Amino acid sequence: MMKVRFFRSSLFLGFAACMIVLFSARYWMPELGLAEPLFHLPLFLQGVFWRAGAISLLEVVSTLLMTFSAVILIFFLSAFSETLRITLRSLMTVMGIVPIITLTGVMGLIFNDFWNVSLLASSTLIVRCVSPVLNIAPHIPPLLLKSAKAMRLTPSQRFWRLHIPIAYPAMARSIALEMPHFWIRFLGAEWLLSLLDPSREHGLGGYIFLCFKRHDPIGFCEGLCAIMLFIVAVQALCIRPFFKRIKRYDVSSSPLMKDVKAEGYERLSGTIWQKGGITVLFLFLSCVCFSFGEHRLPIVLLSGAKGLVLWGGSLGLALFFWSVIGGMTIKETSSFRFKARYTAYLSSILPVFLFFPFLRDMAAEVLLLAVTIQGAYGASVFYRDEDQLRNSLIEVAHRLRLAHHHIWQRVKLPLLAPSLARGTLLASYPLWDLLLLAGMMMASSGGVAGSDLGKLLLSDLKSGHYGDQLGILCLVTAFSYGLTYLLLFPLCSHIHRKFRMHP
Amino acid sequence: MTDLLRLNDCTQAARKSRQQNIVVVEKVSFSVKEGEILGLLGRSGSGKSSLLDIMSGLDKPVEGKIYWGDRIATTKDFERVSIVLQDDALFPWLTIGENIRLALEASSLDAEEKDERVAHIIEIMDLDGYETAFPRELSQTLCQRTALARAFVRKPDLVLLDEPFLNLELLGAENLRTDLIELWSEKRLEPLKSMVLATHAIEEAVLMCDRILLFSSSPGKISFEIPVPFTHPRNREDKAFRAFVDQVYSLMTRRAPSVSEADLSEESPFPEVREEEEETFIALPDLSIEVLVGLVEVLGSEALDGRADLPELAQRLQMTLDDLFPLGETLQLLDLAQLEDGDIILTQTGRVFVEGDADARRDIMRTALLRALPLLRVIRNILDERPNHTVSAETVRHILEKTMSQNYAQQTLNTAIAWARYAGLFSYDEEADRLMLENED
């Protein structure tokens, strides 16, 4: 195990060193008097590329620092006030599904591009860090709570010593699952700012946009490689250390948890009136905002309806793909499942969405959206290790000589249902940001997007129609919130109750 | 001996709804004297844990007062009380040393003093070498030992023990008990003045306590106060000890509430009382019907011929006496056996049950369940009366929750369903959460 870790670390460091040597060649090659033809390759001449890389690096660092500071501040304040925790909890459920990319223009009024990107990217990361801790109270074993009270720990001490450690595994997983979304917003914001103002430098996302505009495939690949390097570096330096300590804090298999009722999805979603009320509120706010804007409401609603079709289509396609893969690999060993889970997760953080400008029609858009979000399904399908009970059920089905399609229909799919439901929920979170980005990217490159919402947003950003921008924000938030909490959560809850094999 | 802590007419209730409370303990008064180990002995549901919560300041009684010495107890007084729970409740992500140190987190001691206290308590509780281990690496006995250390490190005046040995394996529990008594007798836990032990294990109470308060259930009240005449160390095998344990057993079995409920028959001269009783359902224990049937068969075997001494039977079946006791009580409730002076004796119905085939046994069990358990009678009546012969299980749960807590209501319903299935009374659709009559062809 140590050897494997050493090998991986060495591989990463070696790759990083090669990239640094390669991309800094324009500086050291002349000093060493090396071969001129190499020196004239575009690869070594791009000062813009280096500056873009530096900007992105600074933005990533500032985002992560901002996230860390905000989280610590929220925890500090929450430790003292139960009321604040309850308020923040409600706020986080909304903030977690707001399509932040729509705020690019509005935030540009207050912040410069650097802080704009940092704030946009850090927003949901903060939500994902904080939400598990704020929601952990019902999952705290009553005995531990009683024990803490018996030791006369103050409420603040109980928060730091009990709430946060118990929430740690959920927080670490939440952050890891949020990283694909983080990069979508980070690079998407840079790309968008570069589109709005090509004269200025906006990091690697902007560099990618410029290369696309100049039909520069080498530059495009260069930028993509640099982005991959960033992603791998952040994963290795910031995210992986979180996972090393999960085992210490994981109490899910502890006997202490026997008194904790597994609330599943119901508690997180609130009552149907609350959910419906918030959805209607955002719809109302969007109507109010559009009334101050230039767009006509029917056009916007039609675009929204098209967006819903795209939303359903991409989720359905990814769901279908992983139903097949999940069914085919349902009996695989723990080792295979671990590797598959890791691979699925890696595939989800690849910035595949940067290929949207190359697309020309709706079908391709649905396909690429499905490819972008499918990683969440994979991570869910392979979430559990090899399960003897599940394998024995399939074995019994074979021995009963059930027809192949019956085994799929009656055994495999029901066994997979809870994982697929969870995957659908996870995949749906970044989908509206992706839809808007896809629309904007395809519109800017002359493609025909499935939904016009992105196109409308892009024209509003260019023309500075803030009312319409806020209108689109509220409309898409209403869609996102309503679909998530009025459709997906109840569906997942039902599937979880009906088909779960484990408590 | 002076009173350290005194409860005066304390009543505790669990809140069921805005209009309704379930009384857990009612007008309980007793005192904990300095220099004694007081035992609170009673079955599950007799309010022992609720009383310990009141005594530790974790909960307030709905009525009554608590005195520390001769004045009303304040928050500062409760800081001199430590409690050890049934499960060790150690923080799994902290090492043993860190768990013990956590108990001093709320104190105003400096780091050096904390380290000193932790080191001292680790030494006297025999936890040397385990300081850097995590709870998951240790046995339950060691974890509970750590929980005790965590309670003692605060140097309390009073320690409350809520069935601390219940979940430990036999030898480990015995070892820990002995060590605790030794530390107490040698006064190595200064400034500890008293301990209170809540337990349902009679032998354990007699082994450890200087005075035992026997509690009845529903609601919890003190039935007897029994001073224990033995000095430490006590010998289980001693004849006087065994005789004393038998005496306590007799006292406990004599006042089993299930006996009085089962005795209520159609000939009762107090029909109005019977009506009230029919609406009051008892909490059923989480007992498998197969285990009950198995016990009846063992009793009816040639070797025992329908009669056995409870402790001997427990040993024969490799069970603890306290696991066997609820089985015996349930058989008594169903009139398949009766408990008498520490023995369990098959009744005539029980003998017929043993000799019968599967159908005969089902019929006998059906009759016994319907006669003894008002809950099953009510459910069966509802199912008979309804045209579709089904009823929502949630409805039954609501009825049960009027007289017992949510957890007991769920447990009672689960047990009732399992028993009813065996007897062919009704069945349960888990998906629809409905009870229904089986097809009785």
**CA distance to A148, A332, B5, B385, per residue, from B77 (Å):** 18, 60, 10, 58
B288: left (phi over 0), alpha (psi -120 to 50) or beta: beta
Strands B37-41, B211-216: parallel, antiparallel or unpaired by DSSP? Answer: parallel
Strands B71-72, B63-68: parallel, antiparallel or unpaired by DSSP? Answer: antiparallel
Confidence check: pLDDT of A33 > 80: no
Nearest CA in chain A to B159: A150
Greater confidence (A38 vs B285) lies with: B285
**pLDDT number for residue B275:** 36
Tokens of B140: 């339950």
Across the range B169-187, mean pLDDT stands at 90
Beta-carbon contacts of B314 under 8 Å, excluding residues fewer than 6 positions away, are B320, B321, B323, B324
Beta-carbon contacts of B366 under 8 Å, excluding residues fewer than 6 positions away, are B423, B424, B425
Cβ contact B284:B412 at 8 Å: yes
* Average per-residue pLDDT for chain B: 85
3-class SS at A366?
helix
Q: How far is A81 from chain B (nearest CA, A)?
A: 19
**pLDDT number for residue A156:** 92
Nearest CA in chain B to A249: B93
Nearest CA in chain A to B432: A498
Q: How far is A59 from chain B (nearest CA, A)?
A: 35
**Local structure of residue B4 (DSSP, 8 states):** E
**Local structure of residue B230 (DSSP, 8 states):** P
Residues of A in contact with B154 (CB under 8 A): 151
Largest pairwise CA distance in chain B: 78
Please return the burial class of A448, using the count of CB atoms within 10 Å of its CB with bins 0-12, 13-18 and 19+. middle
pLDDT confidence tier of residue B350, bands split at 50, 70 and 90 = very high
Neighbour tally for B335: CB within 10 Å:
18
Strands B390-392, B434-436: parallel, antiparallel or unpaired by DSSP? Answer: antiparallel
Beta-carbon contacts below 8 Å between A and B: 52
**pLDDT number for residue A14:** 77
Q: How far is A164 from chain B (nearest CA, A)?
A: 11
d(CA B218, CA B283): 10
d(CA B133, CA A239): 27
Taking CA B232 as the corner, what is the angle to CA B229 and CA B234, rounded to the nearest 5 degrees?
80
Would you tell me which residues 80-99 of chain B have a C-beta closer than 8 angstroms to some C-beta of chain A?
82-83, 85, 87, 89-93
**pLDDT number for residue A311:** 92
Number of helical H runs and strand E runs in chain B = 18, 16
d(CA A491, CA A498): 11
pLDDT confidence tier of residue B258, bands split at 50, 70 and 90 = very low
Q: How confident is the model over B272-325, as pLDDT tens digits?
A: 333 334 456 777 878 888 888 888 988 888 888 889 888 788 878 887 766 788
Question: Where is mean pLDDT largest: A246-255, A386-395, A427-436, B214-223?
Answer: A427-436
d(CA A69, CA A388): 44
CB contact under 8 A, A150 and B58: yes
Q: How far is A437 from chain B (nearest CA, A)?
A: 43
User: Which range is least confidently modeled, A3-7, A148-152, A364-368, B25-29?
Assistant: A3-7
Please return the burial class of B378, using the count of CB atoms within 10 Å of its CB with bins 0-12, 13-18 and 19+. middle
Across the range B392-415, mean pLDDT stands at 84
Residues of A with CB under 8 A from a CB of B: 141, 143-144, 146-147, 149-154, 157, 161-162, 165, 248-249, 251, 254-256, 498
Tokens of B378: 């009510």
Strands B221-227, B71-72: parallel, antiparallel or unpaired by DSSP? Answer: unpaired
Residue given tokens 């309010």 in the structure block: B47
Tokens of A276: 């419906």
Nearest CA in chain B to A153: B106
Residues of A in contact with B431 (CB under 8 A): 498
**pLDDT number for residue B262:** 36
**pLDDT number for residue B155:** 94
Closest CA to A248 of B74, B426, B135: B135
Residues of B in contact with A498 (CB under 8 A): 431
**pLDDT number for residue B144:** 94
Q: How far is A408 from chain B (nearest CA, A)?
A: 22
pLDDT confidence tier of residue A201, bands split at 50, 70 and 90 = confident
Select from A143, A153, A162 the Cβ nearest to the Cβ of B85.
Answer: A143
What H or E segment, with its residue span, contains residue B124?
A: helix B111-124
- The values of phi and psi at residue B215, to 5°, are -110, 145
3-class SS at B346?
strand
Closest CA to A411 of A501, A296, A279, A288: A501
Nearest CA in chain A to B154: A151
Nearest CA in chain A to B83: A150
**pLDDT number for residue B150:** 95
Select from B89, B103, B134 the Cβ nearest to the Cβ of A144.
Answer: B89
3-class SS at A502?
coil
Q: How far is A367 from chain B (nearest CA, A)?
A: 37
Beta-carbon contacts of B224 under 8 Å, excluding residues fewer than 6 positions away, are B213, B214, B251
Q: How confident is the model over A70-96, as pLDDT tens digits?
A: 999 999 999 988 888 889 988 888 888
What H or E segment, with its residue span, contains residue A112?
A: none
Q: How far is CA B320 from its chain centroid?
A: 14
